[in-house]
Amino acid sequence: MAAWKLLSTGMGFLQSSLPFCRQVRGYYVDWRMVRDVKRRQMAFEYADTRLRINAIRKNTILPKELQEIADKEIAALPRDSCPVRIRNRCVMTSRPRGVKRRWRLSRIVFRHLADHNQMSGIQRSMW
Amino acid sequence: MRPERLYVSGGCRTVDCAAQGNNARLPSTKCKERESLASGIWAPCTARPLGTSSISFSGNKESSTSLSEGKENEPEKNEANAEVNTDGQNAEVNEVTENSQQTLTSQLETEPVVKPEDSKQVEKTKSGKESLLELLGAMKVEVTTARKIRPSKTSRMSERPDQEPMESAHSMFQHAAAEGSPQHGTLNPALVAAVSAAASTLPNKHQAESELLKQLRKHEAVPDTHRRADGQNIGHIIADMKVGRRPNGRSNARPTSQIRFDDDGKGYTQERGITGELDGVRKRKSPFTSPTLWDIDLANHIVQTTNQMPRNGFEEMIQWTKEGKLWQYPINNEAGLEEEASVPFHEHVFLEKHLDESFPRQGPVRHFMELVITGLAKNHHLTVQQKKNILTGSETTSDRKMMS
């Protein structure tokens, strides 16, 4: 998943937190990117649970009481566990807008790399 | 205007490859190598019919992890048994045995050990035939894929099958050794030649040869009355190995999860199995001492100092494939699911037994659960254990609380 890609490229930032209060050193661009990574990890953890609770909530067979209980349960889960809060940021600059999904880059970085011939198979188009 | 309208990508796949590369695909080459090797070595052996007693060992065996050892043991011991052959019960045996490759390879591994005795005791094994059939009924063949690169070249096969009878077998053997003097002073010269050929394949030639010859001599020396079940002969062999024991002290004292290094420099973690007993037996049986802590330290040092960065894209891909980030080619759809191949289909389909008995039989809840069961039955990607966990709610206890 994208979360793991960020982790593997960004050198286990969250795994390096030791109890001796060493400085946390990571390679993420800014704190918003860090929070996004945390959200992705949590969404991965709770994905199965949410799937099952939603399967109970969103069907017509079970009685309404059960569905209400399921509603409360899913509301009780941590807020960062829902995948809706994940934002596809640019990998290089953490820009939240103008990010092309295929390359995970914002438009500015994409243009920069493509003009310097760093993107394989991308060329200036004219027709 | 969007930037990519100015650019055209002609099948750019670098980023996609990197993205996909992180999908964890469990490496399955190791098992494939072993299977192909085992099958390759197995081919010449098919000419010889299998002995009855060999089946009993496959019955006693708990797991077929010794595929790897089979690969190593087969070359050494197949020659030892070039001449020895049992014709008596082969036809019946072949009907009885399962035809899975694991059991056959396991039989091949047990074959060499048993053959010397078989050649002498055709009638005695008949009495053990009933126990054989019982063992076959209780036989369970496990295929484990969690094995790493082959462990040290100890014949673990002969250690595994019988841990319980070992003590009794050992005492029996002591009786036998005390009573009987060797009846035959000479061994079959063909056997001796085979032993020397087999021992030459092992690293420690002379010791292996002497041990094998000792085994042969003792098999012939033990009187018939002391050969009861075939399973106990393995115990004899293990007891034999005690003679050549070297005091290793605490050389094997290392955490079981620590990576060891084989001779070729590849690492493997100690298998969690009957490790305690195996360690003791393997110490005596190994033709060379297992790597000491200093060897491991040296190997780590070498690995860290030498430049292991991939020089080009090919080496990088090789490294990623070994780590499991890339798929193995040719593409195997069931990569990582080799164990599941041996699970019978009815365990996947008939999942109602995992539901509680107290579960309501009628009503919407039951309807819902039956839909869940049907969906799980059609799911090709989950293991039976996972499905069971889902149904019993041990995955998420909140589901069960809501159901009740």
Cis peptide before B344 (omega within 30 of 0): no
The residue with greater pLDDT, B290 or A71, is: A71
Question: How high does pLDDT run on average in chain A?
Answer: 85
> In the prediction, which pLDDT does A117 show?
95
Over range B8-24, report the average pLDDT.
Answer: 47
> In the prediction, which pLDDT does B283 show?
56
pLDDT band at A37 (very low <50, low <70, confident <90, very high): very high
Dihedral, CA of residue B84, residue B86, residue B91 and residue B95, to nearest 10 = -70
Which residues of chain B neighbour A124 with C-beta distances below 8 Å? Answer: 6-8
In percent, the amount of chain B with pLDDT more than 70 equals 34
Q: Do B3 and A53 touch (CB under 8 A)?
A: no
Q: Do A61 and B364 touch (CB under 8 A)?
A: yes
Predicted confidence (pLDDT) at residue B236 exceeds the cutoff of 60: no
Q: Do B3 and A110 touch (CB under 8 A)?
A: yes
* Minimal C-alpha gap between B13 and chain A (Å): 8
Task: Please write the tens of the pLDDT for every residue from B349-381.
Answer: 888 888 877 778 888 888 888 999 999 999 888
Which residues of chain A neighbour B15 with C-beta distances below 8 Å? Answer: 102-104
Which residues of chain B neighbour A123 with C-beta distances below 8 Å? Answer: 7-8, 10
Over range A41-64, report the average pLDDT.
Answer: 92
Q: What is the enclosing helix (H) or strand (E) of A123?
A: strand A122-124
Predicted confidence (pLDDT) at residue A50 exceeds the cutoff of 90: yes
Over range A16-32, report the average pLDDT.
Answer: 73
- What is the total residue count of chain A? 127
Q: How far apart are CA B4 and CA B389, in angstroms?
A: 47
Q: Do A61 and B402 touch (CB under 8 A)?
A: no
> In the prediction, which pLDDT does B262 show?
64
pTM here? 0.40
Task: Please write the tens of the pLDDT for every residue from B289-328.
Answer: 677 889 989 988 988 888 778 899 999 999 999 888 998 8
pLDDT band at B131 (very low <50, low <70, confident <90, very high): low
Which residues of chain B neighbour A119 with C-beta distances below 8 Å? Answer: 7, 9, 12, 14
Task: Please write the tens of the pLDDT for every residue from A89-110.
Answer: 999 999 999 999 999 999 999 9
The residue with greater pLDDT, A17 or B314, is: B314
Which residues of chain B neighbour A122 with C-beta distances below 8 Å? Answer: 4, 7-9, 12
Which residues of chain B neighbour A60 with C-beta distances below 8 Å? Answer: none
ipTM value > 0.90:
no
> In the prediction, which pLDDT does B46 show?
44
Q: How far is C-alpha B150 from the geometric centre of its chain's CA atoms?
A: 10
Residues 329-368 of chain B whose Cβ lies under 8 A from any Cβ of chain A? 364-365, 367-368
> In the prediction, which pLDDT does B156 show?
47
Nearest Cβ partner of A48 from B18, B367, B395? B395
Question: How high does pLDDT run on average in chain B?
Answer: 61
The residue with greater pLDDT, A73 or B192, is: A73
The residue with greater pLDDT, A100 or B83, is: A100
Which residues of chain B neighbour A73 with C-beta distances below 8 Å? Answer: 398, 402
Q: How far apart are CA B173 and CA B4, in angstroms?
A: 81
Predicted confidence (pLDDT) at residue B256 exceeds the cutoff of 50: yes
The residue with greater pLDDT, B382 or B254, is: B382
Dihedral, CA of residue B376, residue B378, residue B382 and residue B384, to nearest 10 = 70
Nearest Cβ partner of B9 from A59, A111, A122? A122
| Chain B nearest-CA residue for A53 | B399
The residue with greater pLDDT, B208 or B25, is: B208
Predicted confidence (pLDDT) at residue B22 exceeds the cutoff of 70: no
Q: Do B365 and A62 touch (CB under 8 A)?
A: yes
Residue B151, sorted as left (phi over 0), alpha (psi -120 to 50) or beta, turns out to be: beta
> In the prediction, which pLDDT does B222 show?
61
pLDDT band at B175 (very low <50, low <70, confident <90, very high): low
Which residues of chain B neighbour A56 with C-beta distances below 8 Å? Answer: 368, 399, 402
pLDDT band at B1 (very low <50, low <70, confident <90, very high): low
Q: Do A104 and B15 touch (CB under 8 A)?
A: yes
The Cβ-side half-sphere exposure at B46, using a 13 Å CA radius, reads 9
DSSP code, position B182:
P
DSSP code, position B61:
-
| Chain A nearest-CA residue for B390 | A52
Q: Do A119 and B7 touch (CB under 8 A)?
A: yes
> In the prediction, which pLDDT does B212 show?
78
- Selection from A61-70, B88-97, B234-243, B252-261 with the highest mean pLDDT: A61-70
Residues 6+ apart with CB under 8 A from B121: B224, B227
> In the prediction, which pLDDT does B316 show?
93
Sign of torsion over alpha carbons A57, A61, A65, A66: negative
Residues 98-127 of chain A whose Cβ lies under 8 A from any Cβ of chain B? 100, 102-104, 107, 110-111, 114, 119-125
**8 Å CB contact between B57 and B107:** yes
A/B interface, count of CB pairs below 8 Å: 77
Paired sense of beta strands A105-106 and B267-269, if any? unpaired
> In the prediction, which pLDDT does A86 show?
96
Task: Please write the tens of the pLDDT for every residue from B328-348.
Answer: 888 888 777 777 778 888 888
Q: Do B399 and A53 touch (CB under 8 A)?
A: yes
> In the prediction, which pLDDT does B292 show?
86
